[in-house]
Chains A and B, each alone.
Chain A
Amino acid sequence: MQGSSDFSPACPIPLQQYPHVLLAHGGGGKLMHQLLEQLFATAFANPLLDRRHDSAVFESPAPRLAFTTDSFVVRPLFFPGGDIGSMAVYGTVNDLAMAGARPLYLSASFILEEGLPMETLWRIVCSMQQAARRAGVKIVTGDTKVVDKGKGDGLFLNTAGIGGIEHSRTIAPQSVQPGDVLLVNGDLGRHGMAILAVREGLEFQCIIESDSAPVADLVLQLLRENIELHCLRDLTRGGLASALNEISEAACRQILVEEKLIPVREDVHAACEMLGFDPLHVACEGRFVAFVAPNDAERALAILRSHPLGEQAARVGIVREAASPGVSLKSSIGAHRILDMLSGEQLPRIC
């Protein structure tokens, strides 16, 4: 986790006066004004935000734009490898990247629960500021609401984002072709297991830290090197299995993956085995699958591996010509089975 040490660590709201968020902080009066000015405007300062207008106004950065939104309700707010703030920035940045867009501007909406420690809010805001800087985006507009104590889980966050598309490719399931090679940019399942371990108080001998990270830079490098990218998908809820099933359905293509080739870190694998989880169903926050034309696959893999967020990148499967969609997996002992989406939540097994 990148610390907030090089950013003013002290909360600018006078703590003795207001150590916790009050309903009045969302009431439209002086307290709200103070919160917006001293906390959000200070942390996120940039020319567009500094105009203090209801909307951020800017020239269109590219002929084609990508636009996305995501809400974040993670519990706990802080976890090994990240927190809700950095996750909210990276989540939206990554969604933009999956369209092959350069992430540019974000909005940030906060739903705060009355009684949330102001210090907690400040830590999250600092983390967002750091994350935005790392991902090369600006938070240019936002909103704050406060709900009664007991009506929220500390803090909920929504971010929306706009990115510019600087290429002419159609990066979408419809572009997937038979023969396409599937690449992932690193080991799977770390975010989900990191959250579960903290949330459920599982006492593993090691700490699993989230893989939460902004992946736009990797995608832009692939595009810059003119890799024939057909489709991208980030591996969030439902993991690789859900992503592949969604793409297979939308593209009407059959996908084959090989279990042995899919990178899963040993501690994550062990935790999954213990709980009866399949790492292919577990969420990541800094991982994606890329569908690449076969002739470009080796080059794409080399580009990914030369980036710090892609050192463990691997080729995990291919797209097959078939009349019907479906995802199948070659198991570690060499037999084939279908790889289905999860039905409902993953529930820990009895024994």
Chain B
Amino acid sequence: MKYLDEYRDADTARQYAGEIRRVTTRPWNIMEVCGGQTHAIVKFGIDELLPKEITLIHGPGCPVCVTPLELIDKALEIASRRGVIFCSFGDMLRVPGSTTDLLSVKAGGGDVRIVYSPLDAVKVAEQEPARDVVFFAVGFETTAPATAMAVFQAAKKGLRNFSLLVSHVLVPPAMEALLASPDCRVQGFLAAGHVCTVMGFTEYEPIAAKYRVPIVVTGFEPLDIFQGVLMCVQQLESGRATVENQYARSVRQRGNQPAQRLMREIFHIVPRKWRGVGEIPRSGMGLSEAYAAFDAERKFGLADRRVEEPAECISGQVLQGLKKPRECAAFGTRCTPEHPLGATMVSSEGACAAYYRYRRPSGGGSGPGMTNVEF
């Protein structure tokens, strides 16, 4: 397929892997920030082709995984109310809250609908004026502009039955929080390409300078990731720490300015809890005062609700790159995609789910490596 196949070519992948091997002289820990990158790495087996000196650490960039338990519980409560139509992206439906999940609420009679865009939820609100339509607005800077547009349009149309449960999060503060931690092992970053498509990459420059860490804005196809790793290793090996753009076919230095303007209009910066990580200052976006009427937490009187995370799941350490999924005692036994203990096992972009799906050792085999059998 055009624009895809050329980024999945086996020969070029091998050439990149060879070049990475050639320039690597010592061990390096590189974090891919985005869950989409984690998914591609494990799905295509990219890390298997890298030299053993390169360790890829899977970052906190899965919006489903980092949405705090508290907010999932609020979503469940709102979705259970009579008369409410609760609209969500598909992969939030299976995320476990304290007691249940949205799929179960739906099975119990709740009107929970999968939408592909926040604007679809606005349409539902127009079609159902007598009912409260709530959109579960999760995601990073990638999905936030569409949420902002939905609020903007709803305001323009004067829709009073539309509101949003907002849990948008920002990538740079999370990267800083990781780097500031004394346990941090990350020496270089592959920044999330689609986040930078919206935001540009100037905000990463102070981080690269302050923490002396190379940051390479990277795409999501196998060859993007190989090239991102190569650029990152080249910087590490030569002692440089700057922001570089591998994903130039999509990312401009200053990003998508109209989208940023709209986001500034609709949202303001707030502290945000990250599931498994805790609260990170200035790491979220909430509805600004001018649009507070669209805030579902206020509308349904849930703003003060607090829920603590259960202790048994190590997803927080996985999200911070401190542990690999297989280092968890519950991985693949008590914790599976069918019965997830934590969010990283739920979303297809979560590191635990990706490992379970593509890496779970099967029977007596030696894991996914198995053997190279040619047809």
Binding site for B on A (CB under 8 A): 200, 202, 254, 256, 258, 260-261, 266, 269-270, 273, 275-276, 315, 317-318, 320, 322-326, 328, 330-338, 340, 343-344, 347-351
Q: Which residues of A contact B372 (CB under 8 A)?
A: 330, 336
Q: Does B370 contact A (CB under 8 A)?
A: yes
A348 near B114 (CB under 8 angstroms)? yes
What mask results when residues 350 to 366 of chain B are scored 1 for a CB within 8 Å of chain A, else 0? 00000011111011110
Q: How far is the CA of A53 from the CA of B117 in the complex (A)?
A: 54
Rounded to whole Å, the gap between the CB of B242 and the closest CB of chain A is 27
B357 partner residues in chain A, CB cutoff 8 A = 338, 340
In whole Å, how far is B41's beta carbon from the nearest beta carbon of chain A? Answer: 10
Q: How far is the CB of A242 from chain B (nearest CB, A)?
A: 13
Question: A142 vs B187: C-alpha distance in the bound complex, in angstroms?
Answer: 69
- Contact A351/B63 with A325-B363, A338-B358, A338-B362 known, Cβ cut-off 8 Å: yes
Q: How far, in angstroms, from A338 to B370 measured CA to CA in the complex? A: 9
Contact in complex: B114, A347 (CB < 8 Å) = yes
From residue A326, how far is it (CB to closest CB) to chain B in Å?
4
A325 vs B370: C-alpha distance in the bound complex, in angstroms?
Answer: 12
Q: Which residue of A lies closest to B5 (CB)?
A: A332
CA distance A343 to B92 in the complex (A): 15
Measured in the bound complex, the distance between the Cα atoms of B362 and A325 in whole Å is 8
**Given that A344-B337, A351-B142 are known contacts, is A334 also in contact with B10, CB under 8 Å in the complex?**
yes
Give 4 nearest A-B pairs by CB, closest first: A335-B45, A324-B363, A347-B90, A326-B362
Q: Which residues of B are found within 8 Å of A326, using beta-carbon distances?
A: 362-363, 365, 370
Contacts known (A325-B362, A344-B337); A333 close to B64, Cβ less than 8 A: no
Q: Which residue of B lies closest to A268 (CB)?
A: B1
For the complex, give the distance between the alpha carbons of A258 and B373 in Å: 10
Asked if A349 meets B363 with Cβ closer than 8 Å, knowing A335-B48, A335-B49, the reply is no
Min CB distance B325 to A, Å, is 14
Residue B94 lies at the interface, judged by CB distance under 8 Å to chain A: yes
Give the contacting residue for B1; candidates A254, A266, A340; CB below 8 A.
A266
- A323-B364 contact in complex given A350-B92, A350-B138, C-beta closer than 8 Å: yes
Q: Could you say which residues of chain A place their CB within 8 Å of the CB of B97? A: none
Kindly identify which residue among B13, B89, B356, B359 contacts A350, using a CB–CB cutoff of 8 Å. Answer: B89
Residues A344 and B94 in contact, CB atoms below 8 Å apart:
yes
Residue from A317, A324, A344 within 8 A of B362 (CB atoms): A324
B interface, how many residues as a size bin?
A: 35 or more
Residue of B nearest to A182 (CB): B375
In the bound complex, what is the Cα–Cα distance between A55 and B46 (angstroms)? Answer: 60
**Residues of B near any A CB (own CB < 8 A):** 1, 4, 8-10, 13-14, 36, 42-46, 48-49, 63-64, 89-94, 103, 114, 116, 138-140, 142-143, 194, 222, 336-338, 347-349, 356-360, 362-365, 368-373, 375
Q: How far is the CA of A318 from the CA of B363 in the complex (A)?
A: 19
Q: Do the beta carbons of B336 and A343 come within 8 Å of each other? A: yes
Q: Determine the chain A residues whose CB is within 8 A of the CB of B371 once the complex forms.
A: 320
Residue in A318, A320, A336 whose CB lies within 8 Å of B48 = A336
B91 lies within 8 A of A347 (CB): yes
* Residue of A266, A269, A322, A331 touching B43 (CB-CB under 8 A): A331
Q: Are A347 and B368 in contact (CB under 8 A)?
A: no
A336 in contact with B45 (CB, 8 Å):
yes
Apart from A338-B357, A338-B358, A338-B360: 18 A-B pairs, beta carbons within 8 A: A256-B370, A261-B375, A269-B4, A276-B348, A320-B373, A325-B362, A325-B363, A332-B10, A333-B45, A337-B43, A340-B356, A344-B103, A344-B337, A347-B91, A348-B116, A350-B90, A350-B143, A351-B36
Residues of A within 8 A of B93 (CB): 347
Report how far A333 CA is from B348 CA in the complex, Å.
20
| Contact call B49/A334, Cβ cutoff below 8 A | yes
Q: Please name all residues of chain A whose beta carbon is closer than 8 Å to the beta carbon of B63 when the two chains form the complex.
A: 350-351
Cα–Cα, bound, A83→B46 (Å): 42
Q: How far, in angstroms, from A325 to B364 measured CA to CA in the complex?
A: 9
Docked CA distance A334–B18 (Å): 14
Residue pair A349, B44 in contact (C-beta under 8 Å): no
Q: A254-B365, A317-B375, A324-B365 are in contact. Are A350 and B1 (CB under 8 A)?
A: no
* Of B8, B42, B338, B375, the contact of A343 (CB 8 Å cutoff): B338
A-B contact pairs, 19 of them (CB 8 A): A258-B375, A269-B1, A269-B4, A276-B91, A315-B375, A317-B375, A322-B365, A325-B363, A326-B370, A334-B45, A334-B49, A336-B372, A337-B368, A338-B358, A347-B91, A348-B89, A348-B116, A350-B138, A351-B139
Residue from B114, B370, B375 within 8 A of A318 (CB atoms): B375
Closest B residue, CB atoms, query A278:
B43
A200: B residues at CB distance < 8 A: 114, 116
What chain B residues lie within 8 Å of A350 (beta carbons)? 63-64, 89-92, 138-139, 143, 349
